[in-house]
A = this chain, B = another copy of it.
Amino acid sequence: MFEDWSSFAVEVVEAVEAVEAVDSINAVAAIDLHVEVDTADGRRIGLERALRAAIRSGRLAPGTPLPSTRGLAAELGFARGTVTSAYDQLVAEGFLIARQGAATRVAELPGSVARDGSGSAPALARPRFDLSPGLPDVSAFPTAAWLRSTRRVLTTAAPVDVHGAGDPQGRLELRTTLAEHLGRTRGVLTTPDRIVITSGFYQSLGLLGSVLAETAGVRAVAMENPGHDTYRDVVRRTGHTIVPLPVDAAGARLERLADPAVGAVVLTPAHQYPTGVPLRPARRHEVCAWARASGGLIVEDDYDGEFRYDRRPIGALQGMAPEHVAYCGSVSKTLGPGLRLAWLALPRHLVEPVVRAKLHADWHTQGLGQLVLADLLARHDYDRHVRAMRLNYRRRRTHLIRRLTTEHPWAGAEFTGVPAGLHVLLTLPPNAPTEPELLSRAAAHGIALRGVRNLWHNAQAPTQGVLIGFAAPPLHTWPAAVEALTAVLGER
């Protein structure tokens, strides 16, 4: 048995080498049936491709009889078996029809092939200065640490743990490290068995929406007004109506939670998006009391809670009511949104339904990224990066506000919110250009900004303003970005 096996292994290696040798042969082209046979990948493959192309393009019409295999082989100078194999292949694929004792014919194909003139999609244009809110400076991504951890994971973990079928709840290594990390840095009170790893906040929100929709009677979710417009779409897609909660200087107003149809409320307690106000203590108590009394769920979107500049970050609301809050975090504001790595710290009763929804959504989040992040966390490379970026962003924010305040293009323009996060909201007074004017001016100068009009639930936005993200530009372009922005705001 084992002797057989070792000879098999040798044969496998030899066969691989043989295939690779064949691949390097480039033969010349032959012509027939008005089709060109490119034999670079072998005669049979070339003939099949040529026939398929001719049939798809309509040059070989349905019902057309093909030459006999003997005749075509002679014409092409191929072995007859090559042509027979090619015909067999195309019969199996449905391009040709073979009947006993009759010529092989072209089959009828449904529809025609829509192929673009160009055949390729346009690349996304990047702005010269990306001042979109909510994006970190990914040029500072800890590439060396990430590569080190990737190498470590790929060379030390069991391949089946990295590349095999994964746990829909997420890798235990990452959940264990996160439970400690979130407790230490955000005051989140959780355990690894109550954490679910997801592929970003969009997915976290969608999974929760989907699970809530299965709960009897829950058909409405309360969300801050203004708030992130796409998140409303995500919740709507899971079958809910949205109840808007106005935002004042103390954060979201909670009166409308009294509506018994409301089964959940989505909040940004540390730093309301977009206004930048934190949810004040009385409101924190009020919403926890609502959850306790009604059985409703608080979805805490802690999207940039790591970044507070005037004091230590306020701990997560979750720490006050762990059995009533689904805490949502991610690496999108710390490392970059491209990684699509996020987490939920859940009340115990939601773990099982959320894990089932995750299985049905995408089975599990990619294993390699989870293990690399766990390694970065365990080695404190992650903490070091967050601390460095916090200092960096704090200085940028101070610099930006000082500069724009000094230039004060319009009396009455204000920056709202506390010193935190990755953006400021600049409100536009009546003497300023309108929001669309300002955005189009900025775009003309290669500056990406975002307006606030779409962030209100209905069309009548009470405020005009622009969101200025100060984190995304690489450090060396930041001074130029501020110059360009100042020039745009100062234009008459």
Q: Whose C-beta in chain B lies nearest to the C-beta of A18? A: B391
Q: Does A320 contact B (CB under 8 A)?
A: yes
Complex Cα–Cα for A139 and B157 (A): 11
Q: Which residues of B contact A336 (CB under 8 A)?
A: 159, 162-164
List residues 340-366 of chain A with CB under 8 A from any CB of chain B: 340-341, 348, 357, 359-366
Complex Cα–Cα for A4 and B111 (A): 66
Complex Cα–Cα for A368 and B292 (A): 42
Q: Which residues of B contact A348 (CB under 8 A)?
A: 114
Q: Does A462 contact B (CB under 8 A)?
A: no
Complex Cα–Cα for A147 and B110 (A): 44
Among the stretches A68-76, A197-205, A260-268, the one at the interface with B is: A197-205
Q: Does A95 contact B (CB under 8 A)?
A: yes
Q: Whose C-beta in chain B lies nearest to the C-beta of A15? A: B391
Q: Does A490 contact B (CB under 8 A)?
A: no
| A391 and B321 contact, CB distance less than 8 A | no
Q: Nearest-CB distance from A486 to chain B (Å)?
A: 10
Complex Cα–Cα for A44 and B312 (A): 10
B114, B284, B315, B339: the one within 8 Å of A322 (CB): B114
A interface, size bucket: 35 or more
Q: Give the interface SS of chain A, mostly helix, strand, loop or mixed.
A: helix
Q: Which residues of B contact A124 (CB under 8 A)?
A: 167, 172
| A339 and B163 contact, CB distance less than 8 A | yes
List residues 283-316 of chain A with CB under 8 A from any CB of chain B: 284-285, 288-289, 291-292, 311-312, 314-315
| B362 and A362 contact, CB distance less than 8 A | yes
| A338 and B191 contact, CB distance less than 8 A | no
| B323 and A93 contact, CB distance less than 8 A | no
Q: Nearest-CB distance from A167 to chain B (Å)?
A: 6
| A94 and B284 contact, CB distance less than 8 A | yes
Q: Does A65 contact B (CB under 8 A)?
A: no
| B52 and A315 contact, CB distance less than 8 A | yes
Known: A191-B120, A475-B9. A20 touches B384 (CB 8 A): yes
B12, B162, B191, B206: the one within 8 Å of A119 (CB): B191
Q: Which residues of B contact A459 (CB under 8 A)?
A: none
Known: A110-B292, A135-B165, A338-B162. A388 touches B16 (CB 8 A): yes
| B163 and A138 contact, CB distance less than 8 A | yes
B150, B162, B230: the one within 8 Å of A138 (CB): B162
Q: Which residues of B contact A366 (CB under 8 A)?
A: 199, 338-341, 366, 369
| B292 and A120 contact, CB distance less than 8 A | no
| B169 and A121 contact, CB distance less than 8 A | yes
B56, B132, B337: the one within 8 Å of A363 (CB): B337
List residues 105-128 of chain A with CB under 8 A from any CB of chain B: 107-116, 119-121, 123-124, 126
Q: Does A61 contact B (CB under 8 A)?
A: no
Against B, the Cβ 8 Å flags (1 = close, 0 = not) of A409-441 are 000000000000000000000000000000000
Known: A166-B337, A166-B338, A319-B52. A230 touches B359 (CB 8 A): yes
| B139 and A160 contact, CB distance less than 8 A | yes
| A339 and B362 contact, CB distance less than 8 A | no
Known: A120-B172, A163-B335. 11 other contacts (CB 8 A): A12-B391, A16-B387, A52-B315, A56-B189, A119-B179, A120-B191, A143-B159, A202-B359, A202-B360, A230-B359, A361-B362
Listed by A's residue number, 21 A-B pairs whose Cβ atoms lie within 8 Å are A12-B388, A12-B395, A45-B312, A52-B187, A93-B187, A93-B314, A94-B320, A109-B321, A110-B288, A114-B322, A119-B191, A120-B193, A159-B336, A164-B336, A164-B338, A210-B237, A233-B360, A340-B364, A340-B367, A362-B362, A369-B369
Chain A residues proximal to chain B, CB less than 8 Å: 1-2, 4-5, 8-9, 11-12, 15-16, 19-20, 41, 44-45, 52, 56, 89, 91-95, 97, 107-116, 119-121, 123-124, 126, 130, 132, 135, 138-139, 141, 143, 146-147, 150-151, 154-155, 159-160, 162-167, 169, 172, 175-176, 179, 184, 187, 189, 191-193, 198-200, 202-203, 206, 210, 230, 233-234, 237, 278, 281, 284-285, 288-289, 291-292, 311-312, 314-315, 317, 319-324, 335-341, 348, 357, 359-369, 384, 387-388, 391-392, 395, 399, 472, 475, 478-479, 483
